[in-house]
Homo-oligomer: A and B are copies of this chain.
């Protein structure tokens, strides 16, 4: 029963807290699976997914010691094209999936040595990589500077237009019957009112969520997919709330002036004297340049220094960048976790599901995360690749599953 004086405005099978690409993808698939879904977000489409380059790049992102993350990212990439195709079919909109591949380039000999070490590791994991000398790099991308030392083509790393993709997801979710409540979820509510962070919360069940406006939504199942803000939701186990932190990323959106032919075909990932920069071309003539990684809490300011460094590094490898129009500078917050992996899975109290902490791979993992979440919501097991990424790894005997 709701407390006296509190309005229960809506009830649903599932409430999803967070309307970014993760929450919206889950909402769409859950509604398509026959569930009655309410999605709560005060600023839909205004999160990290708008400030993203849309790289689908498990191979060129794979780092030493992150084998489990690589496997779930490869699962996510494998799932992405059919998911995107269904999204395009349902909405009639293109989402800008590009499969030309990613060209990693090294500016100097030190950058090249580092790239070769990573490439050996990636190959040992069975990933496809083609080494290219400077001339071969320029054969693929003629505007690259001749100063580039060399590169590696990763044909399996793609990209998607993140803004088109996010907009199509919202449209598909609405068409599937997902209702949107433009409000912030402040707490997950449990049947006994104690909240999931109480010592005996694990034996309890959720009964809905509280909203910033003072209202409530009644629901036996709640998905917390609030990205960087997941830690602000009351009623989650304390160890999970502190496991998700915002990692600031600044990026630039460039455009070709009228009449200039496209300067890029592949995604370029460059290392310029140890600094990483990427350039992602879009079919509509946009080129995204990103991104910084800054531990500055919830700060969303665009700084002179970050803009300078991104432009400098991009112009170092692709001098023609200077001729492009600087259409937008922006900053977003990615939900980082202590081990760089996402948090996807159920946690006590009963009916509570987490789908957050996707860090730099929210767009890439959105389709596979929706599959995993809908599996949990419908009583099936998620794919085994998700097993290492349950919430339990951050709980020390606090009632984890």
Return the chain B residue nearest A308 by Cβ.
B311
Chain A interface residue count, Cβ-Cβ cutoff 8 angstroms: 22
Q: Does A329 contact B (CB under 8 A)?
A: yes
- Hey, which chain B residues are within 8 Å of A322, CB to CB? 303-305, 308
Q: Does A324 contact B (CB under 8 A)?
A: yes
- Hey, which chain B residues are within 8 Å of A327, CB to CB? 302
Return the chain B residue nearest A250 by Cβ.
B326
| 29 A-B contact pairs sorted by A residue (CB < 8 Å) | A252-B304, A254-B304, A257-B301, A301-B325, A302-B325, A302-B326, A302-B327, A303-B322, A303-B323, A303-B324, A303-B325, A304-B311, A304-B314, A304-B315, A304-B321, A304-B323, A304-B326, A305-B311, A305-B315, A305-B321, A305-B322, A307-B326, A308-B308, A308-B311, A308-B315, A308-B322, A311-B311, A326-B329, A329-B329
Complex Cα distance, B157 from A220, in Å, reads: 70
Complex Cα distance, B308 from A254, in Å, reads: 13
**Given A326-B329, A329-B329, A307:B311 Cβ within 8 A:** yes
State the copy count for this chain: 2
- Shortest A332–chain B CB gap in Å is 15
Q: Does A312 contact B (CB under 8 A)?
A: yes
A242-260 near B? 1/0 per residue, CB < 8 Å:
0000000000101001000
A-side residues, CB < 8 A to B, are 252, 254, 257, 301-305, 307-308, 311-312, 314-315, 321-327, 329
Complex Cα distance, B307 from A311, in Å, reads: 8
Q: Are the C-beta atoms of B305 and A307 separated by less than 8 Å?
A: no
Within 8 Å by CB of A323, from B305, B307, B312, B315, lies B305
- Hey, which chain B residues are within 8 Å of A323, CB to CB? 303-305
Max chain B CB contacts within 10 Å: which of A257, A302, A303, A329?
Answer: A303
Task: Please give me the 6 A-B residue pairs with the lowest Cβ-Cβ distance, nearest first.
Answer: A305-B322, A308-B311, A301-B325, A302-B326, A304-B326, A304-B324
- Hey, which chain B residues are within 8 Å of A307, CB to CB? 307, 311, 326
- Hey, which chain B residues are within 8 Å of A321, CB to CB? 304-305
Return the chain B residue nearest A257 by Cβ.
B301
Q: With A308-B315, A311-B311 given, can you name 4 additional A-B contacts, CB distance below 8 Å? A: A252-B304, A303-B326, A305-B321, A308-B312
- Hey, which chain B residues are within 8 Å of A314, CB to CB? 304
**Given A311-B311, A312-B312, A304:B325 Cβ within 8 A:** yes
- Shortest A321–chain B CB gap in Å is 5
Max chain B CB contacts within 10 Å: which of A301, A308, A323, A325?
Answer: A308
Return the chain B residue nearest A305 by Cβ.
B322
- Hey, which chain B residues are within 8 Å of A329, CB to CB? 326, 329
